[in-house]
């Protein structure tokens, strides 16, 4: 029994990708940092660089498509799932990628009544798909 418990604990410890077991939480940006022997400070810098890249890409797409992201914040697919299961199905379909595509981003307005899916395809095409909450139902614009 002792060996099984030790093995289980070792397995759990191996799942920690960034930081140490005392870390409160791992952000999405930190989860993209390659597994290496980075110090906590280096990992934070890498995570910030990744976050900056996503922000720069979102600004490029916004400029290209003529949308205004003022009042919008980046969210994750899991947040969409928690908001509305039907919307999640549509978002999941719109965020599927092919080789060379950039990671899609989801932006939710502070009013929680408007959402954009930003895409940058391998050929350089940028798109922004908007969903609006109308009468309690999310509608694609």
| pLDDT the model gives residue 29 | 53
72 versus 25: which is more confidently predicted?
A: 72
Q: Listing from the earlier edge strand, what are the strands of the sheet with 105-109?
A: 72-75, 105-109, 114-120, 126-134, 137-140
How many domains does one find in the chain? 1
Q: Is the pTM of this model over 0.95?
A: no
| pLDDT the model gives residue 21 | 39
Contact 116, 106 (CB under 8 A): yes
Q: Residue 38 is part of which domain span?
A: 2-140
| pLDDT the model gives residue 71 | 96
């Amino acid at each position: 029994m002792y060996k099984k418990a030790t093995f289980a604990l070792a397995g759990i410890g191996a799942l920690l990708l960034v930081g140490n077991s005392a870390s409160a939480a791992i952000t999405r940006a930190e989860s993209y940092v390659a597994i290496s022997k980075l110090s906590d400070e280096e990992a934070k810098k890498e995570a910030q660089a990744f976050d900056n890249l996503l922000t720069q890409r979102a600004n490029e797409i916004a400029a290209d498509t003529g949308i205004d992201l003022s009042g919008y914040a980046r969210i994750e697919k899991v947040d969409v799932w928690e908001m509305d299961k039907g919307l999640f199905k549509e978002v999941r379909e719109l965020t599927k990628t092919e080789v060379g595509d950039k990671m899609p981003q989801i932006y939710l307005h502070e009013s929680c009544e408007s959402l954009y899916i930003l895409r940058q395809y391998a050929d350089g095409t940028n798109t922004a798909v908007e969903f609006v909450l109308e009468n309690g139902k999310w509608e694609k614009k």
